[in-house]
Amino acid sequence: METIAWIGFSQGLFAALLLVTKKQPSVSDKLLTAWLFLLALEFLTCGLDYRILGLPLLSSTFLLFNPAFYLYTRTLVDKRFKLDSLQLVHLLPFLLFESLTYALNTPYALHDFFERDGALTFRLAFGVVSLLSWIGYNLATGRQLLKHRRALLNELSTFEHGERVSWLLFVVIFYNLYCLICMAVAIAVIVLRLEIPIMPVYNYSALLALVYILGFYGLRQTTVAMDVDAKASETTKYSHSSLSPAKRKAIVGKLNAFMAEQRPYLNPELSMGLLSLSLNIPKHQLTEVLSTELNTNFYQYINTFRVEAVKQLLVTHPDYSIEAIGFECGFNSKSSFFKVFKQQTGQTPLSWLKQP
């Protein structure tokens, strides 16, 4: 266990120092740097606990990871979010319980969690606050990521921009599995009185894996926040819409005619903003019409035309390479071309071409 602690300290510190040297660091980079320094400090205190006391004290890593991951996600995907000194309030539970753990010298021992001693109230408060922190921040982080993805689907016709934060979804899944296993082990030890001595090792091993993930992807991450039209990205049922049914149908007709005549989908950089300017129709109205009248979003709508254009060229120009046809029809990468084509047809372009 002590070895894991020193590896975590060195890796967390190394990743933080690498981020410090990053050219033109963003707010997200600065936040992640501070986060990794705190994680390195958490590993350091764990190693010192083993070296001095011979056992680990109660870990407050949940209370650090939950708000830090939420704030980091906000800085990446929400252009309107401003990081200021008030955000430090998110760290107060971590600092408070970390300080009290050392003041009360509370060991990391689940078997004695409900023992009636002077630290029982502290341990109960720690458990309740950790659970609420996990639930609250986890829901808020997931909501931010889903909101960002929906906004991209209503703003962009090529989705590589959104894939740059897909690793955050992986972190969410990994972290929640880790937390659920922690809860299962805690119940098994506290309620069922099972002998499971691996809890500190498991906890810090998972945290070490998260340090590697955050350090690796954080160094490569660029800012992806977009200035999204609030009305256009809102996922409501449009119950209070100002558009009449006749107006919606008129917009659909104008939109489809523009697609057929001008073929704007051949432009790989086509966005909702460009389409809105070309049609002189507000973005939020186009989004509403796509959702209510055509039951789709901007990304799916545009790529449907691209896939149909690909099908036509595959038949009429069999001498063209499949990749060249994809680029000709508005896709800006081979990966996005094959991904979208298979999503819409259930086949690869070559399989579709060879079918009877």
**Which residues fall within 8 angstroms of residue 135, CB to CB, at 6 or more apart?**
none
- 179 residue type, one letter: C
**pLDDT of res. 233:** 46
**Which residues fall within 8 angstroms of residue 160, CB to CB, at 6 or more apart?**
332, 333, 336
**Which residues fall within 8 angstroms of residue 336, CB to CB, at 6 or more apart?**
158, 159, 160
First to last CA, the chain: 62
Q: Which CATH code, of 3.30.160.270, 1.10.10.60, 3.20.20.70, 3.30.1330.40, is assigned to 241-354? A: 1.10.10.60
**C-alpha to C-alpha distance for 68 and 133, rounded to whole angstroms:** 11
**C-alpha to C-alpha distance for 63 and 207, rounded to whole angstroms:** 13
**pLDDT of res. 230:** 44
**C-alpha to C-alpha distance for 356 and 335, rounded to whole angstroms:** 26
User: CA of 253: how far to CAs of 137, 175, 351, in Å?
Assistant: 44, 47, 34
**pLDDT of res. 354:** 86
The backbone region for 317, taken as left when phi is positive above 0, alpha when psi lies in -120 to 50, beta otherwise, is beta
Name the token pair of 142: 């997931």
Low-confidence ranges of the chain (pLDDT < 50): 161, 228-236
Q: Where are the domains of the chain?
A: 2-220, 241-354
**C-alpha to C-alpha distance for 214 and 229, rounded to whole angstroms:** 30
Q: Which residue has the tokens 């600065």?
A: 30
Orientation angle between helical segments 334-345 and 298-316, nearest 10 degrees: 90
**pLDDT of res. 242:** 77
Q: With 0.85 as the threshold, say if the pTM is over it.
A: no
**pLDDT of res. 232:** 46
Model confidence pLDDT, tens digit, residues 44-67 = 998 888 888 887 788 888 899 999
